[in-house]
């Protein structure tokens, strides 16, 4: 045990709030990860697949690139590079619809595969444990690894942050609490050795001695597989079985459950000596370090009632989601809503012609009976949302303030602490889309802040101009005054000189007269 950093310490195992959505994981959990997905005719590699600055292309249209070759470099402190998922020709660099609810076009490299799937040189196995901690962080960054749980935060930044602060515990998130999604479950079952290897590599990179893998108790096969894989390192890596309660995969919920520590508002997990990574990230780190393979593909769950053969597929980045759906027997006629991610927190997509990105954990084509079709009714203050909220907020109070246009009041109720997990809206008997209200309010507040910032800037500029003009005017006035004074002084001097001269001449005259 370590010394608690926190004045307010909770008993490990406490959970606040949470809901039990229907898991609906069976259909995809029983199928092995499909690795024989045929290469699509074109890959669309968005330059922005991560939190931070977009990557900058280092290839030109017409270049031939090899599998694993760098095609766009990370820029600045928080960014991630991008590599070619297969060998082929750079077809174009243009704006293409992005994996975002708006599907707005963003800068994208189009890569036309040549079918050879030819790796670049230098792909060979090394001993990760001969590397220094710094080298591991750098190599993870160079491989373009980001958080695979959906946040897509560059892993290098997180590992470096961890090295700056002393990390007692590395927690690996195998919660996967979202319904439908099973990509982490399958990964843990099928590639447990690699995941544990990745965890050990990260522990070395963080110089941290203890790790806990948290897995929800509805994934018994994954728990068994991981337990087998960690057996040789059981003194340093523990497997924790978590109750299946959404949102257990919320990092702060899992950290409190496992350690009893709460991260102070506005702080990071590293503040309390904890760092969390997703199991998918552990796998990607292992591939990047041991096999020198950059992040060029991922496992994604394709599910929902409008898909005939739902399953997990390992696909190259840039694959159009439509190709993945078609591969799994997509039935557009049955589709009511296309969702990227899980049904609790995922985003609705207007169409599937957007590419797979590093953070995409699932694509769901939900049929009509899987999507709630509702009409919001009046709030009856039943406070089920209060009970369900894992953060400890009062969703009904925030909602009523937002409805009345009192966004500041909603802020006082903790709007900024909301994690948009959707537990409140899930349990609401009035079917009020609470999360919708919160997202709207946060967007509106941001717009207001920007407008305020802009008007402040304008005011500042105007004031500066005024001050400048005043200064110029004053200077001019001062100069004029100085000139006038000078002229006056000169006039005086002239007058005096003249008088003196007259006096002298008079004197000389009188002297002359006298002589």
Partner 1 sequence: MKPLLSAPFKTASDGHGVIMDKVMLALTPATAIGLFIFGWPALFLFSITLVSAFGWEALCLRVAGKPVRATLADHSALLTGWLVALSLPPWAPWWIGVLGGFIAIVVGKQVYGGLGQNLFNPAMLARVALLVSFPLEMTAWPIPGTPIGSSLPGLGESWGIFLGQPIADGYTGATSIGYLKTELSRGKLLPAIADEWDYSLWADLAGFLRGGSLGETSAIALLLGGLWLLREKVITWEVPSSLLLTVALLAGAAGILDPMHQPGLWFHLSSGGVVLLAFFIATDYVTSPNSRMGQIVFGAGCGALVFIIRSWGAYPEGVAFAVLLMNSLTPLIDHYIQPRIYGRDFKGHPLELEGKP
Site for partner 1 in 171-190 (CB under 8 A): 179
Evaluate the CA torsion angle 172, 287, 156, 104 in order and state its sign.
negative
Tell me the CA distances in angstroms from 383 to 305, 372, 374, 397, 496, one per residue in order: 32, 21, 20, 10, 96
Window 221 to 240, contacts with partner 1 (CB under 8 A)? none
Nearest to 420 by CA among 148, 175, 178: 178
Q: What span, in angstroms and rounded, lies between the C-alpha atoms of 4 and 259?
A: 9
Backbone angles phi, psi at 495, to 5 degrees: -60, -45
Residue 346 interacts with partner 1 (CB under 8 A): yes or no: yes
Question: Of 38 and 266, which CB lies nearer to partner 1 in the complex structure?
Answer: 266
Residue 6 interacts with partner 1 (CB under 8 A): yes or no: yes
The CB-of-107 to partner 1 minimum distance in angstroms stands at 27
The CB-of-352 to partner 1 minimum distance in angstroms stands at 16
Q: Which of 382, 488, 493, 503 binds partner 1 (CB under 8 A)?
A: 382
> Number of residues in contact with partner 1, rule: CB under 8 A?
72
Q: Which of 16, 53, 210, 334 binds partner 1 (CB under 8 A)?
A: 16
Q: What span, in angstroms and rounded, lies between the C-alpha atoms of 12 and 491?
A: 93
Q: What span, in angstroms and rounded, lies between the C-alpha atoms of 111 and 43?
A: 5
The CB-of-351 to partner 1 minimum distance in angstroms stands at 15
The CB-of-115 to partner 1 minimum distance in angstroms stands at 38
Longest dimension (CA), the chain: 139
- Which positions from 351 to 380 touch partner 1 by CB under 8 A, shown as an x/- string? ---------------x-x-xxxxxx-xxxx
Window 25 to 44, contacts with partner 1 (CB under 8 A)? none
Answer yes or no: are the C-beta atoms of 302 and 338 closer than 8 Å: no
Window 423 to 442, contacts with partner 1 (CB under 8 A)? 425-431, 433, 435-436, 439
Question: Of 147 and 341, which CB lies nearer to partner 1 in the complex structure?
Answer: 341
Q: Which of 64, 209, 351, 381 binds partner 1 (CB under 8 A)?
A: 381
Q: Which helix (H) or strand (E) holds 238?
A: strand 237-242
Question: Of 110 and 339, which CB lies nearer to partner 1 in the complex structure?
Answer: 339
The CB-of-105 to partner 1 minimum distance in angstroms stands at 21
Residue 208 interacts with partner 1 (CB under 8 A): yes or no: no
Q: Which of 134, 207, 347, 463 binds partner 1 (CB under 8 A)?
A: 347
Task: Quote the DSSP letter at residue 396.
Answer: H
Q: Which helix (H) or strand (E) holds 505?
A: helix 434-514
Residue 493 interacts with partner 1 (CB under 8 A): yes or no: no
Window 392 to 411, contacts with partner 1 (CB under 8 A)? 392-394, 396-397
Bridge partners for 92 per DSSP: 110
120-129-183 Cα angle (round to 5) = 65
Backbone Cα Rg of the chain: 33
Residue 350 interacts with partner 1 (CB under 8 A): yes or no: no
Residue 464 interacts with partner 1 (CB under 8 A): yes or no: no
Question: Of 197 and 370, which CB lies nearer to partner 1 in the complex structure?
Answer: 370
3-state secondary structure 420-478: CCCHHHHHCCCCCCHHHHHHHHHHHHHHHHHHHHHHHHHHHHHHHHHHHHHHHHHHHHH
- Which positions from 251 to 270 touch partner 1 by CB under 8 A, shown as an x/- string? -x---x-----xxxxxx---
């Amino acid at each position: 045990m370590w010394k608690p950093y926190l004045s307010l310490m909770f008993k490990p195992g406490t959970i606040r709030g949470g809901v039990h959505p229907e898991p609906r994981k069976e259909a995809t959990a029983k199928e092995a990860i499909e690795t024989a997905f045929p290469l699509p005719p074109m890959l669309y590699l968005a330059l922005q697949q991560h939190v931070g600055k977009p990557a900058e292309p280092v290839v030109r249209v017409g270049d031939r690139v090899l599998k694993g070759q760098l095609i766009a470099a990370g820029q600045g402190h928080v960014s991630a590079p991008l590599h070619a998922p297969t060998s082929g020709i750079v077809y174009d660099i243009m704006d293409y619809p992005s994996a975002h609810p708006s599907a707005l076009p963003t800068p994208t490299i189009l890569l036309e595969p040549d079918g050879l799937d030819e790796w670049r040189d230098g792909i060979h196995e090394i001993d990760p444990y001969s590397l220094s901690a710094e080298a591991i962080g750098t190599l993870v960054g160079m491989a373009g690894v980001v958080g695979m749980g959906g946040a897509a935060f560059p892993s290098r930044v997180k590992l470096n942050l961890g090295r700056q602060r002393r990390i007692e515990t590395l927690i690996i998130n195998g919660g996967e609490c979202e319904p439908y999604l099973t990509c982490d479950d399958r990964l843990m079952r099928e590639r447990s050795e690699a995941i544990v290897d990745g965890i050990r590599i990260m522990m070395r990179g963080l110089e941290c001695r203890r790790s806990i893998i948290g897995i929800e108790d509805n994934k018994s096969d994954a728990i068994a597989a991981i337990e087998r894989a960690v057996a040789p390192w059981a003194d340093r890596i523990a497997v924790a079985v978590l109750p299946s309660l959404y949102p257990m995969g919320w990092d702060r919920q899992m950290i409190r459950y496992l350690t009893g520590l709460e991260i102070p508002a506005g702080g990071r997990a590293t503040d309390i000596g904890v760092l969390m990574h997703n199991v998918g990230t552990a796998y990607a780190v292992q591939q990047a370090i041991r096999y020198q393979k950059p992040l060029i593909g991922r496992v994604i769950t394709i599910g929902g009632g409008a898909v005939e053969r739902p399953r997990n597929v390992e696909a190259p980045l840039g694959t159009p989601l439509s190709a993945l759906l078609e591969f799994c027997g997509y039935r557009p006629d049955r589709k009511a809503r296309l969702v990227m991610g899980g049904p609790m927190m995922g985003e609705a997509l207007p169409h599937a012609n957007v590419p797979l990105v590093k953070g995409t954990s699932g694509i769901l084509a939900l049929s009509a009976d899987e999507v709630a079709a509702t009409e919001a009714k009046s709030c009856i203050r039943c406070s089920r949302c209060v009970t369900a909220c894992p953060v400890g907020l009062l969703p009904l109070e925030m909602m009523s303030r937002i409805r009345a246009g009192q966004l500041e009041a909603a802020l006082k109720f903790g709007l900024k602490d909301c994690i948009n997990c959707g537990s409140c809206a899930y349990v609401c008997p009035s079917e009020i889309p609470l999360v919708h209200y919160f997202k709207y309010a946060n967007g509106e507040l941001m717009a207001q802040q920007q407008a305020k910032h802009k008007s402040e800037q304008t005011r500042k500029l105007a004031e500066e101009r005024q001050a400048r003009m005043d200064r110029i005017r004053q200077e001019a006035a001062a100069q004029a005054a100085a000139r006038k004074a000078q002229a006056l002084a000169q006039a005086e001097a002239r007058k005096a000189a003249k008088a003196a001269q007259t006096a002298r001449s008079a004197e000389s005259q009188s002297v002359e007269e006298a002589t």
